[in-house]
Homo-oligomer: A and B are copies of this chain.
Amino acid sequence: MHCQCITRFGQPLEGQDRADMTPQGSEVILEVLAAGVCHTDLHVREGGVDLGHGARLEYAQRGVSLPRTLGHENVGRVIAAGPDAGDIDISRNYLIYPWCGCGVCAACQSGQENLCVAPKFLGIHVDGGYATQIRVSHPRYLFDIGDMDPMHAAPLACSGLTTYAALKKLGDRPRRQPVLIIGAGGLGLTAIQLIGALDMPAPVVADIDPAKREAARAAGAHAVVDPRDPDAASAIAKACGGAPSAVIDFVGAEATAKLGFDVLAKGGMLVSVGLFGGSSPWPLPLVALKAVTIAGSYVGSLAELGELLDIARTGAIKPIPTVRFPLSEAEGAMNRLEAGGVIGRAVLTPG
């Protein structure tokens, strides 16, 4: 097998040839058909995330050892299974749930492996799909995608799931009033579609990039706003029919976190999803005085991925644009994403 992996943080990926994988116990080995390239992969390659005021989260101190093969948005075909894996239909294509947990902690016991205290996330803590083969610890992490295009299904495991879970956090708020979406990148565009698929009112979208605002409008946004416009706040309130009671921040920078908080209605909810980095910019007393809820959201649970696939199978979600790169150009694909040059989603195809 071949893989593209990090051998040193902050350095380019390195191609390696390794022995073919063989399964143990309940393990399943798949041939990778498509592996999405995600912003998180850029953070892992870099080795950390900015925590604001000069501090940094270091993956090396969070259980991420090297070398590591990236890739957590994977679709594959089963090529081998261990003795305890049960019956698996090897003629199907499977989307792989990558947010696997330890199985024993309270989060895992309650079905939220994505919040596990000792996670084994594919492509982060164990090897992922920037490779020709991938190992999955148990078949319950596999979702049959039927005749969906693997390139379109792969991003559902992270960008799709993250968006879906963030929307669910808002409860019924987005039914009563348009939600404000900050950031019209891949997640923001997916959110517009999911909101439509869920029969919620079309959202208001804020982005500093005119091209992305235009894409959001084309995707069905009720209105688009440039957050650097001096009267952005009043434009948002006007478009939402009053200060919004629901905001999702898909960027996660100090500027977007401030915008989302400042426009929020009393009692409203800001869902924080993006990992751009920095320190929270909110005045503590206003958190209490405005009685707002700030809810961090991180990918989603196994059950939520099942729900999302049910929606996707109805055809209600039009695939976002994807750009295909061969596995050997993983490093180039990441650099293009980093430079902002990817419209939609970059996907590696090892074939």
- Interface of A toward B, CB cutoff 8 Å: 10-11, 47-58, 106-107, 112, 114-117, 208-210, 228, 242, 252-259, 265-267, 272-298, 339
Contacts and interface: CB of A to CB of B under 8 A. Distances in A.
Contacts of A266: 107, 115-117
Q: Considering residues A47, A51, A283, which has the most beta carbons from chain B within 10 angstroms of its beta carbon?
A: A283
Contacts of A280: 279-284, 287
Given A266-B115, A295-B293, A297-B291, A242 B285 contact: no
Given A278-B284, A279-B282, A297-B291, A52 B339 contact: no
A335 to B, nearest CB: 8
Contact of A284 (B208, B228, B279, B283): B279
Contact of A208 (B10, B49, B242, B279): B10
B286 A294 contact: no
B252 A284 contact: yes
A136 to B, nearest CB: 23
B54 A283 contact: no
A60 to B, nearest CB: 9
Contacts of A273: 288
| Copies of this chain assembled into the complex | 4
B288 A272 contact: yes
Contact of A286 (B51, B267, B282, B288): B51
A293 B54 CA distance: 19
A29 to B, nearest CB: 29
Given A106-B242, A115-B291, A288-B274, A54 B298 contact: no
Contacts of A114: 291
Contact of A51 (B10, B58, B275, B285): B285
Contacts of A298: 288-291
Contact of A53 (B48, B210, B265, B281): B281
A115 B276 CA distance: 31
A57 B285 contact: yes
Contacts of A115: 266-267, 291
A290 B267 CA distance: 22
A7 to B, nearest CB: 13
Contacts of A107: 265-267
A289 B296 contact: yes
A207 to B, nearest CB: 11
